[in-house]
Structure 1
Amino acid sequence: MAGTTVQWIAGSVQEILQISGLTLQTFLVLCATFFLSCAVAFRRSRNLPPYPAGRVPVFGHLRALGGAPLIKMAERRRQYGDVFTLRMGMEDEVVLNGYTAVKDALVDRPELFASTIPGYLLNVYVFVPVGILGAPWGPGYRQRKRFATTVLKNLGMKVGPGSIEDNIREEANCLRNKIAESNGQPVDIAHDVSVAVSNIICSMTVGKRYDYEDETFRELYKAIAAIT
């Protein structure tokens, strides 16, 4: 019986190689890669909350979440409770729901959850290792934060003389006038509000504000929004 099974497997492999045009070495490498991916995908880390159903190799729970991830997570909360684990691609992510679970993690024990999740694409495009956004928690982060806070205070982000309060008032008036141009008609002000906030930052850092219809500024805004 065992000999017949081995012969059948050998014959099937030979047929696959003939049809696909692969060599035996290439076929074995593909098989090893597939089984290794499955082993990594289904490996469960210790001390993690339960996994919901629907986890598949490589993709994890991404396909199960579909086009409405928040709704799917709410459904899983009703089934698995306020704390559960999702496999997002090749990484495990712990999902917190409800006031008690979030407060316990972010308020009662902030030192354990202060760092951010490392991301390759974020590191490449936003230069996280040499900046603040998304940088891992530690002495380097705290040093950069103190430096940034000192610089921003020198630029006017403070209370009292030399603050940016006048710039904020001026920009608020510009935003009000921009909205008034709609003559009471419904209008999406998301872009205009983003420009107003950006102008406050620009007035601090480069001493200049940009018009709401400035094409160069619009292109820069779109480019930044595309990678965030």
Structure 2
Amino acid sequence: MALRRLGEALSSIPPLQSALLLLLSLLAAIHLAKLLLRPRRLEPPGPFPWPLIGNAAQLGSAPHLTFARLARTYGDVFQLRLGSRPVVVLNGERAIRGALVRQGAAFAGRPRFPSFQLVSGGRSLAFGGYSELWKLQRRLAHSTVRAFSTGSPAPRRLLEQHLLGEARALVALLVRGSAGGAFRDPSRSLVVAVANVMSALCFGRRYSHGDAEFLRLVGRNEQFGRTLNRDFYGFVRGKFLQRRGRLRPGAAPRDMLDAFISLQQEQPRLPLEHVPATVTDIFGASQDTLSTALQWLIIFLIRYPKVQVKMQEEVDRIVGRDRLPCAEDQPHLPYVMAFLYESMRFSSFVPVTIPHATTVDTSIMGYLIPKDTVIFINQWSVNHDPEKWSNPEDFDPTRFLDENGFINKDLTSNVMIFSLGKRRCIGEELSKMQLFLFTSILVHQCNFIANPNEDSKMDFTYGLTIKPNALTINFQMKLGKMPSLPLTFQSISSLTTKRLVYEHNGILKCIS
């Protein structure tokens, strides 16, 4: 009787729908059979993937939190499927360091996503595949960034003066916008300020905060990843084409773009078109991550007013009121540095790195990982590991200070925000220097007041970086007039006449 009713029910379904139902049932059965019959002993475990979509629907709006939750069930190495593509997720310092440091070359690839091939005309350092050409491109880029930031004294002073001038302009803009007790969203001003520092380094000039072209390119940095391969790359390439014909052989580079063109002439194995692509990467990645970090730093200052006061007291005690903080003050401002490291740890504003891919068949923690497997690196899991950090969900800068009040350098090295290994961010030291100077100058000059009509919850939007949702803040100038710059931009122009030369070991040096 039951079989007859089932037959009658099936006979009432139109032939086309019956065929589709049969096909879907067959696909599901084949998919399940593959999962059950294939050898799984050496594959990473993971949640059941649904036909066609895999585990994509499980990731939610905060994948880094989903990854950490799944790691509690399946371990620090587990496997997902996004559509039909297998993806291995690494959590925790042991798994991540084991892959990126101990097997750096094996995990240094990038997935062959079509979108990655479009970035900067397929010549991107950040998104490009691991190859001999890529290693040369990275070596030249790293030496150039180091030369203009933390290398020789002259370019380092030049960077500092660019940043001091931009920080002064930023303070004036924020305070002016808060006149009459007004509350304002500082995010766009922070984006333009950081972009101006990078513009000065890369192209030798800054832009007005009201410049229409510059604002169109960088004023909405949450869209940077979507416009990188069009508008911004075109902007940089235009400057490159202007410079290429004008730069005389042997002339002293005035900025990073000049330096890259000169290096390419010394190293013709790097195609000329890789120069604008590399500068685009350096500019774009820096302005996006740094402006996001500064937004988090300011939110922490209003969220934790006692921390704000303690930072201001330390800066006033060390720097005084007759000058602005400078790079030489950094060793004497341990609480400011502790605040920066705790902000990076707590926010983990780069929670998951750009996806990696394996370049060979390899293994990690006993699991076999085939060549060309997509790898997700969950940095957030390291920064919030309860076995590494006491009360990781509490914001506490003092965790980075030792019993004598000095920075605990062993502990700061545990913060994972700039990745590790072959793909470690080449601008890490440059970024830390900029964050220190911007933050110390802001707390030296301003009081930050939260809007009492807004919820202080730290909600965010997930992307390449975690961006805090907009909050309005009142910026009040502290007592006293803002000190003048130690040097004017005109007086440091002579620093740019120093010549950067390429050494055979791939290092840029500054000579008189």
TM-score w.r.t. the length of structure 1 is: 0.71
Q: Which residue of 2 aligns with 1:127?
A: 120
Tell me which amino acid in the other structure corresponds to 1:80.
Y
- RMSD of aligned C-alpha atoms? 3.7
| Structure-2 separation of matches of 1:171 and 1:45 | 59
| Structure-2 separation of matches of 1:45 and 1:68 | 32
C-alpha contact 2:199 2:205 (8 A) present in aligned 1: yes
Which among 188, 192, 206 is matched to residue 191 of structure 1? Answer: 188
Q: Which residue of 2 aligns with 1:103?
A: 97
| Structure-2 separation of matches of 1:116 and 1:205 | 26
Change (3 A) 1:94 1:193: same
C-alpha contact 1:167 1:200 (8 A) present in aligned 2: yes
The ranges of structure 1 where at least 4 consecutive aligned residues each deviate by more than 6 angstroms after the TM superposition are 42-46
| Structure-2 separation of matches of 1:100 and 1:149 | 27
Change (3 A) 1:35 1:98: same
C-alpha contact 1:171 1:199 (8 A) present in aligned 2: yes
Q: How many residues align?
A: 207
**Pairing 1:178–2:173 present:** yes
Tell me which amino acid in the other structure corresponds to 1:211.
S
Q: Which residue of 2 aligns with 1:48?
A: 43
**Pairing 1:159–2:152 present:** yes
Structure 2 alignment gaps of length 5 or more: 1-6, 227-463, 465-512
**Pairing 1:225–2:224 present:** yes
C-alpha contact 1:83 1:97 (8 A) present in aligned 2: yes
C-alpha contact 1:131 1:144 (8 A) present in aligned 2: no
C-alpha contact 1:86 1:92 (8 A) present in aligned 2: yes
Q: Deviations over 1:7-52 (max 9, x none)?
A: x8xx96x9524x89xxxxxx79xx59x949x75xx67797431121
C-alpha contact 1:128 1:134 (8 A) present in aligned 2: no
Structure having the higher helix fraction is: 1
Q: Shift of the alpha carbon at 1:209?
A: 0.9
**Pairing 1:71–2:65 present:** yes
Superposition map of 1:9-88 within 5 A: 15-17=14-16, 35=27, 47-53=42-48, 55-88=49-82
| Structure-1 separation of matches of 2:68 and 2:204 | 46
> Percent sequence identity over matched residues?
27
Change (3 A) 1:204 1:75: closer
Q: Shift of the alpha carbon at 1:196?
A: 1.9
Q: Secondary structure at the match of 1:136?
A: coil
Which among 122, 129, 138 is matched to residue 131 of structure 2? Answer: 138
**Pairing 1:210–2:207 present:** yes
| Structure-2 separation of matches of 1:45 and 1:144 | 41
Q: Which residue of 1 aligns with 2:197?
A: 200
TM-score w.r.t. the length of structure 2 is: 0.35
Change (3 A) 1:45 1:201: farther
C-alpha contact 2:116 2:122 (8 A) present in aligned 1: no
Change (3 A) 1:178 1:90: farther
Q: Secondary structure at the match of 1:161?
A: helix
| Structure-2 separation of matches of 1:92 and 1:98 | 20
Structure having the higher strand fraction is: 2
C-alpha contact 1:96 1:102 (8 A) present in aligned 2: yes
| Structure-2 separation of matches of 1:97 and 1:130 | 30
